[in-house]
Amino acid sequence: MRMGPDGKPMPSVYKISQSQQSQIQFRVLDSVNELRSAAGVPPVRLNAELTAAAATHSRDMSVQNRPWHFGSDGSSPIDRVRRAGYSGPMLGENISETFETELETLAAWMGQEDTRNVILDSRGRNMGFAFYQEPNGKIWWTMVMGG
């Protein structure tokens, strides 16, 4: 570990290995469900269709080089969820462009009212979570909540 002039560790790039990918999803799911439990709302479970929609959007944000809720084809989060085959209600989408870990990103989302409301929506039953990491280490995170 490299130390900076202030004696503190220098930041390092969080590189996600192939073996970490499924661990990340379950680490976020467990953390989200702990937060939901503390708020008195039911747990969510990972959903393949919502995760597919999240993965598509994470990669597309990288291609567009901007974090926003619309796809390069003009698609909305609802459009992407329907295309992926999810038939329940889409409740919200959280996105992030960062070099931070998944848990740092989750903490940042919890620090903002609008993204916290997506995580803690009491109607939530299903969650999709995915990311795309660029070679330089930048990560595009997407979380989708469904009822």
For the segment 66-120, what is each residue's pLDDT rounded down to a tens digit? 898 989 899 999 999 999 999 999 999 999 999 899 999 999 999 999 999 999 9
Q: What's the predicted TM-score (pTM) here?
A: 0.89
CA 11 to chain centre: 22
CB atoms within 10 A of CB 140: 24
pLDDT in tens, 11-47: 677 888 888 887 999 999 999 999 999 999 999 999 9
Let me know how long the chain is: 147
Domains within the chain, CATH numbers bracketed: 18-146 (3.40.33.10)
Q: Is the pLDDT of residue 5 over 90?
A: no
Residue 2 has what pLDDT? Answer: 73
DSSP bridge pairs for 129? 143
